[in-house]
């Protein structure tokens, strides 16, 4: 199995990856094909696919932010069971991020991720792909070390229609497991930057950011 980076919508592997995304994720979570052009060409956005027998069977997108020394996992797709894809993607992603942090003269502080909470919403089928079941994914990510931030989380729909997407937790995986709180300013700055590409923010999101800014720290709770 190969771990291949995609940097252009012209790459045939991207067509396969985008098709896989549409099979697995709900529509509001999938950026339109043409809108991927600039993100893929951005050196700070890292999109990799797992290629098995010339097919894209998994994918992950993530970013490293040198100023904050943190990363964000945008998504991870397990498209086929029985290939240890979760471990393959996680290990290769970790290796890549550690190299980026070391090049920045630091040890990675940690990584953010949005994680579905099936106890809030239970209507995500994820294309019938069993490894993508949100109950399974939540436990796997907990095993990896992710903890949920102590806040009621929403995010702007990637359709940029001003709707608030609910049913997720915003989580953080600290490299140091002893860390039980992270700076509220880091959370606010990160989310504001991360969603700056979307011009149409829902009021619920704006209020959430205001509430974060009213705190000095955000607790990390068990996932």
Q: Give the start-to-end residue ranges of the domains of the chain.
A: 2-221
Beta strands in the chain, from DSSP E residues, in sequence order = 2-6, 45-52, 55-65, 70-78, 110-116, 147-149, 155-156, 164-165, 168-174, 181-183, 217-221
| Greater pLDDT, 51 or 131 | 51
pLDDT tens per residue across span 55-99: 999 999 999 999 999 999 998 999 888 999 999 999 999 999 999
Q: The whole model's pTM is what?
A: 0.86
16 pLDDT exceeds 70? yes
Residue 124 has a pLDDT of 55
Residue 98 has a pLDDT of 96
CATH topology of domain 2-221: Aminopeptidase (3.40.630)
Nearest alpha-carbon partner for 21 in 75, 85, 63:
75
């Amino acid at each position: 199995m190969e771990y291949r980076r995609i940097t252009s919508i012209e790459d045939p592997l991207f067509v396969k990856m985008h098709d896989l995304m549409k099979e697995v994720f709900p529509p509001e979570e999938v950026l339109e094909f043409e809108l991927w052009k600039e993100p893929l060409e951005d050196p700070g956005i890292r999109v990799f696919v797992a290629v098995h027998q010339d097919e894209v069977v998994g994918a992950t997108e993530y970013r490293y932010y040198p100023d904050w020394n943190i990363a964000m996992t945008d998504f991870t797709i397990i498209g086929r069971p029985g290939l240890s894809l979760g471990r393959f993607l996680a290990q290769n992603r970790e290796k890549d991020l550690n190299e980026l942090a070391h090049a920045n003269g630091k040890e990675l502080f940690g990584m953010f991720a949005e994680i579905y909470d099936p106890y809030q919403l239970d209507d995500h089928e994820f294309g019938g792909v069993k490894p993508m079941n949100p109950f399974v994914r939540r436990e796997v990510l907990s095993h990896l070390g992710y903890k949920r931030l102590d806040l009621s989380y929403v995010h702007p729909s990637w359709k940029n229609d001003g709707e608030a997407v609910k049913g997720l937790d915003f989580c953080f995986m600290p490299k140091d497991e002893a860390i039980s709180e992270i700076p509220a300013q880091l959370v606010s700055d990160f989310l504001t930057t991360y969603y700056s590409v979307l011009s149409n923010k829902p009021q619920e999101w704006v209020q959430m950011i205001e509430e974060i800014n009213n705190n000095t720290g955000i607790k990390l709770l068990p996932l």
